[in-house]
Structure 1
Amino acid sequence: MQSPCCCLLSLLLYLVLLSGTWADLEGTFTLRLLQTTTFQNTSFVETEGLGLLEDIKLGYLDKRTWSIHICQPWVRSPLPQADWDTIENLLKVYLLQFNHMINKWAMQTDIPYPFVAQTMGGCILYPNRTTEAFAYVGYNGQDFLIFDTKNATWTFSQDTTFSRYVQSLFHQNSTLGELVEVIFDDTCVDEMKMLLHYGREILERQELPVATVFARTPSLGQLLLVCHITGFYPRPISVAWLRDGQEVPPGPALNTSPILPNADLTYQLRSVLAVAPRDGHSYICRVRHHSLGTRSLLIPWGNSEVVLITGLVAGLPAAMAMAAVVVLWVWRQRKHQPMEELQSRNSILSKGA
């Protein structure tokens, strides 16, 4: 008779792998299942779970009731409610066994409470349709054990008495071995293909980036040009600075932030270029994104007069009168420009840039 842990995963995979067709989507996709369990003591344990397809939250586990909450309607639609009830019941059995097993290990090895055990498993589907599976176990926020998918063995990240002890128990535990075997026997990839089929619309969603360029003057001899890009989806994006039409190579003067999420499931980032005030060069922030197709978004940074004004106002308070005269001249020049020309300075779409 199969263990409840293995039955749970087998049922999950069987129910998700219902009949249906799916069309290939471009790109690399990753399915992740995350579990975080906090052991306050031997009798008080809290477990949180989360399922992600790329950056899309599929569902989560209520830490009080251990109920599954589905976040996307297309995840629940292929399965009747009775099947979800069965999954939840078996999931509770698995979590009870997991907590009992970890508590037993902690007491036998005198691990102090409280501590946190984390697991992450899933698979990656690459554009050439090759796949890769993975599984990790963490302890108190640190890498602990890694599953070697080629040899079907657990290797430890930290060589300690505790890690060696847990590694040996993982290898001896037949239930866990069955569970891992089911996960990595191509079932994760089949499950992801099913999700890609039902979630195609949201996965293919495209949002155009919105970009602005502004300046900061942290010191008298330095000008920071900031290109802020936000509101784009999907995540991959390319941002570069052009000096007089030529791309600025990587270096200490160029600093680009990581891609960060927005609350509306879009992304943002900043690219900062340090330049000398009044250096006489023209600068353009260039953005390339899948939503733009073959075009590029070009956002220029003003002209030499604007850079000069920024430097004067920020670094030479005694020259305020001269700066005011220059500002007035620039304002008058811009006043007579057509509105279309003013708008084009903030957002230019040009082919082949």
Structure 2
Amino acid sequence: MEPLKLSFLLMAVALPEIKAGVHSLRYFQTSMSQPGLTKPRFISVGYVDDQAFVRFDSDSAGLREEPMVMWLDKSNQNYWERNSRVIWETARTFQVGLQNLQFYYNQSEGAHTYQRLVGCEVTYDWIFLRGFEQFAYNGHDYISLDLTTLSWTVAEPTALNSKLKWEAERSIAQRQKEYLEEKCVYWLRKYLEYGKEKLLRAAPPSVRITHRTHPDGKVTLQCRSQDFYPAEISLTWLRDGEEQHQDTEFIETRPAGDGTFQKWVAVEVTSGQEGNYICRVQHEGLPEPLTLKWEPESSSPWIIVGVLAAVFLLNAVIAGAVVWRKKTSGGKGGDYVQAAGNDSAQGSDVSLTAKA
């Protein structure tokens, strides 16, 4: 199972960023069948904005949803009972869904994955932006929910089997619309209140510029930013005041593993022209954009921006996520199984999935 764990780590690094001015609640859920397993393994990870805050692994000893952050201790025992029950129901529907998908694709038993991304986004002043529910099979987009038409959009022909089944019962899409527009937003607001000291903080970046000369005489200047939160940041190279897009290289913003983020952008310049280049950094934690250039005489390569608060170390790297990456509008579908009990908007924050 070690290769499986490694893939989850790589997927966690590649999680899509949340746009500036937006809060989100998202769940990534994956069911995996492998030769030798009596039943598929199911993993679910919840995110508030960029922070993983809950997880569930059907292979864990506790068989319950577990917190990944300290601020969830404010939630009571009934909350964990309800959420664990809904997660287990979802795991069972995923197991049936995997069997159905293998039948649709005329595949034998073996290693297969059935995945779901579900969640909502709101503006900072609580205007609902969108809800999304997307499914994938074996790493490829399968089907998604269109909230406007309450219909299911197929990503490839085989998904017509699920589309016809789910659209025959219109209440499936309607129930999910209610979850995304009401319950999901309700719980997102509660989580942001619970974790406001971590989730609503603005930690400014620490920035440095490094200089590397290549054998051919070309020079690479790298502007590296780290220790910042939230993840939204802009790093731009300017030459004589104009933004440089050619001869530049960058990495997407990625988690640093301690609750903060890091990013860098590099530009190739002609030796002796380094002084014409400026790195501009824009971030919520900065009172105004920061501009700096490479200073060869500087004794310290780091420029510390602001006073950083004590960093809360994450307990674990994300255990599960999606192998596919989608543009952010999407959905899923299926024959939904009702959860035991009556979950109101104040009940579980997790929506049930469906059998494909």
d(CA) in 2 for partners of 1:91, 1:138: 18
1:188 maps to: 184
The amino acid that maps onto 1:275 is V
Contact residue 151 and residue 173 of structure 2 kept, 8 A: no
d(CA) in 1 for partners of 2:202, 2:299: 24
d(CA) in 1 for partners of 2:159, 2:55: 29
1:175–1:151: structure 2 CA closer, same or farther, 3 Å change rule?
A: closer
Instruction: List aligned pairs for 1:237-316, cutoff 5 A.
Output: 237-243=233-239, 246-279=240-273, 281-294=275-288, 296-302=289-295
1:6 maps to: none
Q: Does 1:60 align with 2:58?
A: no
2:84 maps to: 88
1:46 maps to: 41
Higher helix share: 1
Alignment deviations for residues 226-246 of structure 1 (CA, whole Å, 9 cap, x no partner): 111111111112222343xx3
Instruction: List aligned pairs for 1:312-327, cutoff 5 A.
Output: none
Please, what is the CA RMSD of the aligned residues?
2.9
Question: Which runs of structure 1 show a deviation greater than 4 angstroms over 4 or more consecutive aligned residues?
Answer: 173-179, 342-346
1:146 maps to: 144
1:173–1:100: structure 2 CA closer, same or farther, 3 Å change rule?
A: farther
Instruction: List aligned pairs for 1:1-353, cutoff 5 A.
Output: 27-40=21-34, 43-65=38-60, 66-79=63-76, 81-107=77-103, 109-113=105-109, 114-127=111-124, 129-158=127-156, 160=157, 162-172=158-168, 176-177=172-173, 179-243=175-239, 246-279=240-273, 281-294=275-288, 296-302=289-295, 342=298, 347=303
Alignment deviations for residues 114-156 of structure 1 (CA, whole Å, 9 cap, x no partner): 2100011110102452321111000111111010001111110
The amino acid that maps onto 1:39 is S
SS in 2 for 1:112: coil
d(CA) in 1 for partners of 2:71, 2:104: 44
Q: Which has the higher contact order (CA 8 A, sep 6+)?
A: 2
Deviation at 1:105, TM superposition (A): 4.5
d(CA) in 1 for partners of 2:174, 2:274: 67
SS in 2 for 1:93: helix
Q: Which stretch of the first structure deviates more once superposed, 46-55 or 164-173?
A: 164-173
1:175–1:36: structure 2 CA closer, same or farther, 3 Å change rule?
A: farther
The amino acid that maps onto 2:155 is S
1:225–1:180: structure 2 CA closer, same or farther, 3 Å change rule?
A: same
2:348 maps to: none
Uncovered stretches (5+) of structure 2, i.e. residues with no partner: 1-19, 306-356
Uncovered stretches (5+) of structure 1, i.e. residues with no partner: 1-25, 307-333, 335-341
Contact residue 62 and residue 69 of structure 1 kept, 8 A: no
SS in 1 for 2:108: coil
1:348–1:261: structure 2 CA closer, same or farther, 3 Å change rule?
A: closer
1:281–1:78: structure 2 CA closer, same or farther, 3 Å change rule?
A: closer
Contact residue 104 and residue 161 of structure 2 kept, 8 A: no
d(CA) in 2 for partners of 1:348, 1:82: 44
TM-score scaled to structure 1, two decimals?
Answer: 0.71
Alignment deviations for residues 193-232 of structure 1 (CA, whole Å, 9 cap, x no partner): 1222222111122322111112112242411111111111
1:134–1:216: structure 2 CA closer, same or farther, 3 Å change rule?
A: same
TM-score scaled to structure 2, two decimals?
Answer: 0.70
d(CA) in 2 for partners of 1:260, 1:94: 29
Aligned residues between the structures: 282
